[in-house]
Structure 1
């Protein structure tokens, strides 16, 4: 057995070398075409927890930690906007215990961002909560508003946390607003562009979705950004549970995006 100090030194060296490799890889990738907007369906938290013989709440907590790491990777690549499916409207149908745990976790993380938003400020990230915030408990809604206010002046990048969210609700709200504006202006010719202008992502200045990633091996969109992903979006499915998702899972996705950009007609 190696002496402790030798073992620790080797561990430090491995971590240092690994970080150097990651830094070099991100620098190389960022020199090629970089997506402006990447959306994630962060799926697999519950199955991850069960596979580790842990309670479901621990899987969701680990999922938030993964979000922080993936966001850092995206910022270092130069991705301008990241959107994540944090809580679907239909998730309110889950057990009261799980819903309460998710709401408590969301509140604590949003409060943490408000107090110690180092990474958001470092990268100039503005946080937006998209969806039916009126369905959130008052304490969570207050935490959302505080986090948005704390990052409002950041203008280099965007983080959209979609909670509680559903594409059908997003589209219906946009159509309703477009119709109301049409009535006000006496112009009843509502176009696709009119509806697009009132989608939640457009309202906060998000560019179109270039890549949509779903983890956990499930191959469906689950009512997430179907309007925003209906044209040129590259949809990618990863077999990893979200808490296990990391740089080495993301690299092939970025390389595939760059390959398709380079091979597409000018």
Structure 2
């Protein structure tokens, strides 16, 4: 039996066990797990919504709706277990190249779900969630951008946990933008410099300068990156930030993701924690 098959078998066993747990017992389990290291930041590539709809012969768009419900559950479990930051890849800049009607449908759905999210502020405030939309928000249509701004404003006072939603985002856009802004800032600082040696020293752009200008510079790098549906591609997502992150790709399509996958994600992180910490120290 391959390691991948063994992982899936173990995950299914965990799923059958967890499926019958009450919320009280679930929290007790999480408390036991928290005796070990808990990832501070988990990033998700939510892959498989359309395949889920095709698999179950659902109408177009039903997979994305099911995926939103899965996201709400995954967020709840992550925050209950002690994860502070959750990042999700909601819409790539490259996705704007899809059929216009498909792009419009996803924009409409995104607007609907953000508005729905705003109606659940009791739950949001219970977990102390601050929502941040990450990416080139000017590419979004007006209703989605306005809704995103309202969500960020409504949760701006929260700081217990964070949800980062990457929309109109790719790393190949984020990195050159950060380089440009770091250079622009350095040029502004150099205005008025008269000593040539000082001016030359100020020309150097350091890694820290770039990271401050990254969209994702507001939070720590992910400890683990999870991509559903068994795919192992990063798809232009957090390429800069995941150089020392653990990668995990369960075969479940995104709408099928649930408690057992969150538990298994944390267990994988705990198993690999000594190695990950060693690599971070060497970086």
Gaps of 5+ in 2: 1-17, 191-201
Aligned partner of 1:192 in structure 2 is 207
1:58 paired to 2:62: yes
**Cα distance in 1 between the residues matched to 2:177 and 2:128:** 29
Q: TM-score of the superposition, structure 1-length normalised?
A: 0.89
**Cα distance in 2 between the residues matched to 1:225 and 1:56:** 29
Of residues 251, 258, 263, the one that matches 1:246 is 258
1:209 paired to 2:213: no
Report deviation, 1:23. 2.8
**Cα distance in 1 between the residues matched to 2:21 and 2:228:** 28
CA RMSD between the two structures: 1.7
Aligned partner of 1:105 in structure 2 is 109
Aligned partner of 2:134 in structure 1 is 130
Of residues 155, 158, 164, the one that matches 1:154 is 158
The answer to whether the 8 A contact 2:78-2:262 is kept is no
**Cα distance in 1 between the residues matched to 2:65 and 2:84:** 25
The answer to whether the 8 A contact 2:111-2:143 is kept is yes
Q: TM-score of the superposition, structure 2-length normalised?
A: 0.84
Aligned partner of 1:48 in structure 2 is 52
1:89 paired to 2:101: no
**Cα distance in 2 between the residues matched to 1:159 and 1:60:** 18
The answer to whether the 8 A contact 2:129-2:159 is kept is yes
**Cα distance in 2 between the residues matched to 1:119 and 1:171:** 34
Q: How many residues align?
A: 250
Aligned partner of 2:236 in structure 1 is 223
**Cα distance in 2 between the residues matched to 1:123 and 1:165:** 26
Of residues 233, 239, 245, the one that matches 2:245 is 233
Of residues 57, 67, 72, the one that matches 1:68 is 72
